[in-house]
Amino acid sequence: MKKVGVIFGGRSVEHEVSVITGMQIIENIDKTKYQVVPIYITKEGKWLIGECLLDFKNFKNNNLKDAKEIFMTPSHGNFNLYANPEEVGLFGKKILDTIDIIFPALHGTHGEDGSIQGLFELMDIPYVGGGVLASSVGMDKILMKDVFKANNLPIVDFYWFYRSDWKDNNESIVNNIENKLKYPVFVKPANLGSSIGINIAKDREGLIKAIEIAVNYDRKIIIEQAVQNPREINCAVLGYDEEIITSLCEEPLGWEDVLTFEDKYVKSNSKGTKTSGERRIIPADISDELRERIEDLAKKSFKAIDGRGTSRIDFLIDQEQNVFINEINTLPGSIGFYLWEGKGYPFKKLVDKLIDIALVTHEEKKKNMYNYDANLFNRIQYGGKM
């Protein structure tokens, strides 16, 4: 039976959201096929394992004293979880567990942005979700939009700048924004999710205030042209390479300016139905023609960043039925299980499919050559002379 290490928590402002995602994944992994090893990264950056991590109540009550600190190595092919040498001593148990595949559930910084995916690549261990490139591009809203623009995918106009430049040239930046965009505009940290640090500005005073908030969360700030009276429609993609399918479309309800953190994670706990009492409508009440356009753009955006696993793509629809890609949310920032239930993938089956994709794509990677015998050492003299 393969052991799946589910990694969650992390040094991110989205720490608590990640814990919830990790608990959901652990609950829905097929226990007849896989043994779960929970790996929790604290807000301080310590890596812990232990049975106590399987109970969500222990996180609510901060009762994790029985968890043990572990270390991992980037050495190729080493999937061991090592104990803290200061705790086990000379003759203690040094290897606490060994895992076969990793299911990251880390939201935001250091987890969703390609950072930890780089560790998995060095280890050469199968892992669920997008690779380093897809994760980093999907996280950075500026690079994401540049990639979409290069692939002729529809996006709203935007402007971006560095935090350091804002401190020295804030008036010039505001003038540049007002010359390129019209109010209202969205102000966002380039590398963050869950609506944290995001605000809408309807005039110069609001713009400056929103930027002053955003610069606390990232060194890169993006300003986006707001779509007037938009509908938000979301659609997810599942698969890899050309073998991809789309989910049902959803329309979040009560979406006016921007969904807050509480809207996403506190108020919206239930599955959506076609009732106004829920936080979303699934499937979205849109025409077949619009749905097909959205599904096509969802696939193209997923392929444009070299996605794998699953990602949710958020769209904005204006009054003339023009479709704009707002952003792509790679796994684990969005598992979007509720979007897949109506397509024959309940949560447990979706988790199983994501693990299968990770294993298949890892086998595909083994076809690459990583050695090239050029006999270079014997053909060149020290100092660069042949």
Residues 6+ apart with CB under 8 A from 1: 33, 34, 35
Instruction: For residue 276, count other CB atoms closer than 10 A to its CB.
Output: 8
Q: Give me the active site residues, please.
A: 14, 194, 334
* Residues flagged as binding site for ATP: 141, 186-188, 194-195, 224-232, 326-327
User: Residue 129 in contact with residue 101, Cβ under 8 Å?
Assistant: no
What does the pLDDT average to over 96-124? Answer: 94
> Which CATH fold topology does 231-364 show?
D-amino Acid Aminotransferase; Chain A, domain 1 (3.30.470)
pLDDT in tens, 336-366: 899 999 999 999 999 999 999 999 999 999 8
Calculate what percentage of the chain has a pLDDT beyond 70. 90
List, as one string, the DSSP characters of 175-202: HHHHHH--SSEEEEETT--TTTT-EEES
Q: Is 0.85 surpassed by the pTM of this model?
A: yes
Paired strand residues for 162: 220
Confidence of residue 381 (pLDDT cuts 50, 70, 90): confident
Quick one: pLDDT at residue 267?
Answer: 47
Per-residue pLDDT at 269 exceeds 50? no
Quick one: pLDDT at residue 273?
Answer: 39
Cα distance between residue 28 and residue 352, in whole Å: 9
pLDDT higher at 23 or 378: 23
What does the pLDDT average to over 244-263? Answer: 73
Nearest to 274 by CA among 253, 296, 298, 302: 253
Quick one: pLDDT at residue 192?
Answer: 72
Quick one: pLDDT at residue 386?
Answer: 52
Confidence of residue 258 (pLDDT cuts 50, 70, 90): low
What are the tokens at 224?
A: 């986006």
What are the tokens at 190?
A: 């380039």
Per-residue pLDDT at 7 exceeds 80? yes
Domain ranges of the chain: 2-127, 157-225, 231-364
Q: Domain 157-225 in CATH: superfamily?
A: ATP-grasp fold, A domain (3.30.1490.20)
pLDDT in tens, 274-303: 433 358 899 999 999 999 999 999 999 999
Nearest to 73 by CA among 5, 124, 15, 110: 124
User: Residue 25 in contact with residue 351, Cβ under 8 Å?
Assistant: yes
* Residues flagged as binding site for Mg(2+): 314, 327, 329
The domain 2-127: what is its CATH number?
3.40.50.20
Quick one: pLDDT at residue 85?
Answer: 79
Instruction: Decide: residue 383, CB within 10 A, 0-12 exposed, 13-18 middle, 19+ buried.
Output: exposed
